[in-house]
Structures are given as structure tokens and as C-alpha cells.
């Protein structure tokens, strides 16, 4: 348990590391590695669904594909180099166009990157029990070397997600958007369906006229909606006065990672279901905004709010139920709307997963809702580490009310031992 918590704390850093490409392109407050991972996982799932691939494997591959960057950082040796100087015209051009390298140089840079990332992953997984550590290492190796069809597919999805993000940041004009993202993507993507998906992206953003494909168009729209969660800071932390807090996407990344680590120890739970449930447990925020349970009316001043947040609100059972049903109804409408264009079977699956989580009506839903509280507690404790005046009392209270699973209680105790400030 101690080691799993250490792993989580380290991997949590991915929620604070911005992606290098965007930093170099001077994007203000760019996405973090964790937020990128989040949409890659969702993309791998919904696009892999159409291919009838092993969805559990796809979700796992996509979830761990960039965790090596915890220590290795987000290096982009094929696009840029250390010491790039945007004041120089030639460097500015390379940013838009991509660097040109010989095959040997690409291999040399690729090998350095691979070794760095491998060492980073070995360091990170050394916190875990050997069996889980090996599984994660093999998944990453599969992705990196494109061994299985799911590994190949995820590698392509990673590029497509980055491409979509570049269009969201820079638009589709060559002068601002550049071509490097397209070049990088078109070098990698080979799957016929994903090539069609690139056509759909071109139709939507570049006014091209490739053959229509309603199913892929709908998935693109869905993924664009999902991308909003990367820019949505969690309301609770905002109200608590945290500057630049984790986003909803960042939180979902943490929870899905927790589902991977701890779900494995709950043999009676369906691991695939748990992972997918973590992924969609809060996508309703796209429509409803990020809501917080229990709190009804909050004072306007930060000082008064800080006082209120020291404890959970004291409410009658009826008041709790009333707040729950207000949120639940709004979220139910939201989940139906967000998934309305997806294939009906996938749509039903997502709605059912969300429902089971929200009402705790399945063993997976009950377990995940406990992990969800612990994810918030962990984040709160990490914020407290940076600011000793930050109170986590309400989060402890919440965890004490919600957790009854022995594994969750063990994790909570470990958090207390390792992170609680007296």
C-alpha cells in the first residue's frame, strides 16, 4: 500500500507538467501530460470500439503510454531540439514546419529517448509490486515498439489527439497552425479507419471534401466536447482558492490510474468496467460544469468560504437527498446529451457506467466512488504540502463517511501516515 501510494504521488506530477510542444509554441496555460493522456484514453476506447479491438488492453495502453514522462519529461527530439531560439527566423520556421533529420539521426535520437524513458519507467514501477510493475512495463513496451495491434493503434491515436489539440490551439491556418503536427501524424497513421478519421478532421477544419462518414464525424464531435474537460479546473479547488488547480481531465486521469492499481487487487470486480467507469464518471461536467456535493449556499468572500470548507456541511438526511437528486437529474440529462451521437450500444454502455457510479448500484460503482473520494483527499493533501494553511478537514470527514472497503480504508490510513500534517 505504501508503495502504491508513492507511485500515485509521483505519477500525479503529470498533472503539473505542461507538454513541451505547446510551451515552445508559447501557448498560454497549455494542457498537461495527464490531460493529454486522458483524451488519448477516451479516443482509444471509442475509436477502438469500432475496430472491435480488445478495449481493456487499449484503455490500459493509452493510460500508461506517457507515464514515463514523470521523470523523463516530455521530450520532442523529432520536432525540436534543446536550446531552440524562437528569436531566430530559422528556428521559428522549424517550429511551424518540423525539423528535417536523416534516418541515422532519427534513430540516434529515438534510441536516446527510448533509453531515458525506459529508465524513467523502471524507476516509477519500482514502487509497485513486481507483477503490476511488469504488466505496466510490458504495456509500454508494446506501445513504444508497436507490437500488438492495440499497441500500434494507440501509437496512432496519440498522434491524432495531439493533432486535434494543435488545431484547437492554433486553428487550421498554415501560418499559425503550421504543418508539423500534420506531418508527424501522417508519418505514423496507417490504419485505414484512422486515415478516414484524418479525412474527417480535414473536412471539418480545412473545408476539404473527402467522403463523408457520419460515425467518425460524430466521434470527432464527441472528442472535441471531451477536450473541454482539459480546460475545466475543478470547482472545489477554485472555491478553496487554489491557483491553477487540477482540471476535471487531470482528476479523471488520477482516478483511472487508481482504478488500474487497486482494481487489480479486487478480484471480484470487472477491471475493464472499473477503468471505463473511471473514465466517464465525470464527463457530465461538460454540460453541467464541475459541481460539488453537499455544499448548498456558499459565502462570497474567500475568507468566509475558507471557514465553511474546514468541515463538511451538516445537513439533514432530506437535505442531502435533495441536493443529490438535483445534481443527479442535471447530470443524467447531460450524459444523455453528450453521448447522443455515439453508436447506440456504446452510448448505452457509457450511460450505464455513469449511472452505476453515480448511484453506487454495482460493486464497481461502490468501489470507484470510494476511490474518487480518496483521489480528492490525496490531491488536497498534496495542496496542503505546498500551503500549510490549506485545510483538508472536510476531505478527511468525507472519506470517513464514504469508505468502508478494507482496501480503501488501508489506503486512507497510509495517506494519514505519509501525508497528514498535524
Give the separation between CA 215 and CA 314, rounded to whole angstroms. Answer: 48
Closest C-alpha among 116, 109, 138 to residue 69: 116
Which one among 214, 303, 314, 386 touches other proteins, defined by CB under 8 A?
314
Q: Give the footprint of other proteins on residues 3-32 (CB under 8 A).
A: none
Identify which range of 216-224, 250-258, 330-338, 395-403 contacts other proteins by CB under 8 A: 395-403
Size of the site for other proteins (CB under 8 A): 41
Which one among 50, 193, 315, 351 touches other proteins, defined by CB under 8 A?
315
Beta carbons of 412 and 381 less than 8 angstroms apart: no
316 lines the binding site for other proteins (CB under 8 A) = yes
Identify which range of 38-46, 107-115, 251-259, 314-322 contacts other proteins by CB under 8 A: 314-322
Q: Where are the alpha helices (DSSP H) in 74-145?
A: 89-97, 103-125, 130-145
Which one among 116, 270, 291, 306 touches other proteins, defined by CB under 8 A?
270
Give the separation between CA 210 and CA 191, rounded to whole angstroms. Answer: 17
393 lines the binding site for other proteins (CB under 8 A) = yes
> Which is nearer to other proteins, 174 or 320 (by Cβ)?
320
Cβ 351 to other proteins shortest distance, Å: 17
Q: Give the footprint of other proteins on residues 105-144 (CB under 8 A).
A: none
176 lines the binding site for other proteins (CB under 8 A) = no
Q: Is 71 helix (H, G, I), strand (E, B) or coil?
A: helix
Which one among 88, 145, 337, 416 touches other proteins, defined by CB under 8 A?
416
Q: Give the footprint of other proteins on residues 240-269 (CB under 8 A).
A: 268
CA angle 21, 19, 141 (to 5 degrees): 100
Beta carbons of 12 and 252 less than 8 angstroms apart: no
Q: In which residue are the cell numbers 494519514 written? A: 416
Sign (positive/negative) of CA torsion 43, 44, 47, 50? Answer: negative
Q: How many CB atoms lie within 10 A of CB 276?
A: 23
* Interface map 330-369 toward other proteins (x if CB under 8 A): -----------------------------xx--x--x---
Identify which range of 63-71, 115-123, 194-202, 311-319 contacts other proteins by CB under 8 A: 311-319
On the 0-12 / 13-18 / 19+ scale of CB atoms within 10 A, 73 is middle
Which one among 320, 329, 337, 418 touches other proteins, defined by CB under 8 A?
320
Q: Is 32 helix (H, G, I), strand (E, B) or coil?
A: strand
Give the separation between CA 395 and CA 398, rounded to whole angstroms. Answer: 5
Q: Bridge-partner residues for 247, per DSSP?
A: 233
Summarize as ranges the residues that interact with other proteins (CB under 8 A): 52-56, 149, 268, 270, 272-273, 293-294, 311, 314-318, 320-321, 323-324, 359-360, 363, 366, 392-393, 396-404, 409, 416, 420, 422
Amino acid at each position: 500500500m505504501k508503495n502504491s501510494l508513492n507511485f500515485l504521488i509521483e505519477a500525479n506530477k503529470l498533472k503539473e507538467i505542461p507538454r513541451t510542444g505547446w510551451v515552445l509554441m508559447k501557448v498560454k496555460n497549455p494542457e498537461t501530460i495527464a490531460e493529454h493522456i486522458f483524451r488519448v484514453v477516451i479516443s482509444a476506447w471509442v475509436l477502438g470500439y469500432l475496430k472491435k479491438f480488445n478495449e481493456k488492453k487499449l484503455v490500459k495502453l493509452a493510460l500508461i503510454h506517457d507515464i514515463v514522462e514523470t521523470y523523463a519529461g516530455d521530450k520532442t527530439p523529432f520536432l525540436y531540439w534543446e536550446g531552440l531560439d524562437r528569436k531566430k527566423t530559422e528556428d521559428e520556421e522549424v517550429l511551424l514546419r518540423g525539423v528535417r533529420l536523416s534516418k541515422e539521426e532519427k534513430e540516434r535520437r529515438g534510441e536516446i529517448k527510448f533509453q531515458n524513458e525506459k529508465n524513467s519507467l523502471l524507476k516509477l514501477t519500482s514502487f509497485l509490486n513486481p507483477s503490476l510493475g511488469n504488466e505496466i512495463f510490458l504495456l509500454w513496451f508494446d506501445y513504444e515498439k508497436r507490437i500488438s495491434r492495440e499497441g500500434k493503434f494507440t501509437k496512432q491515436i496519440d498522434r491524432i489527439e495531439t493533432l486535434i489539440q494543435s488545431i484547437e490551439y492554433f486553428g487550421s491556418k498554415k501560418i499559425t497552425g503550421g504543418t508539423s503536427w500534420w506531418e508527424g501524424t501522417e508519418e505514423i497513421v496507417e490504419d485505414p479507419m484512422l486515415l478516414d478519421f484524418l479525412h474527417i478532421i480535414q473536412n471539418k477544419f480545412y473545408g476539404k471534401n473527402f467522403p463523408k462518414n457520419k460515425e467518425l464525424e460524430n466521434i470527432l464531435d464527441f472528442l472535441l466536447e471531451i477536450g473541454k474537460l482539459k480546460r475545466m479546473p475543478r470547482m472545489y479547488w477554485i472555491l478553496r482558492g487554489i491557483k491553477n488547480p487540477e482540471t476535471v481531465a487531470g482528476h479523471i486521469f488520477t482516478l483511472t490510474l487508481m482504478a488500474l492499481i487497486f482494481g487489480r487487487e479486487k478480484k471480484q470486480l470487472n477491471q475493464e468496467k472499473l477503468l471505463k467507469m473511471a473514465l466517464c464518471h465525470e464527463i457530465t461536467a461538460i454540460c453541467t460544469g464541475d459541481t460539488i456535493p453537499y455544499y448548498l449556499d456558499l459565502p462570497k468572500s474567500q475568507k468566509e468560504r475558507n471557514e465553511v470548507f474546514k468541515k463538511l456541511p451538516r445537513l439533514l438526511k432530506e437535505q442531502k437527498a435533495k441536493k443529490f437528486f438535483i445534481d443527479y437529474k442535471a447530470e443524467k440529462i447531460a450524459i444523455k446529451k453528450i453521448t447522443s451521437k455515439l453508436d447506440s450500444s456504446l452510448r448505452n454502455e457509457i450511460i450505464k457506467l455513469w449511472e452505476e457510479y453515480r448511484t453506487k448500484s454495482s460493486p464497481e460503482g461502490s468501489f470507484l466512488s470510494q476511490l474518487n473520494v480518496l483521489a480528492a483527499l490525496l490531491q488536497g493533501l498534496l495542496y496542503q504540502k505546498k500551503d500549510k494553511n490549506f485545510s483538508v478537514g472536510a476531505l478527511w470527514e468525507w472519506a470517513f463517511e464514504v469508505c468502508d472497503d478494507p482496501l480503501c480504508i488501508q489506503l486512507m490510513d497510509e495517506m494519514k501516515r505519509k501525508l497528514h500534517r498535524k
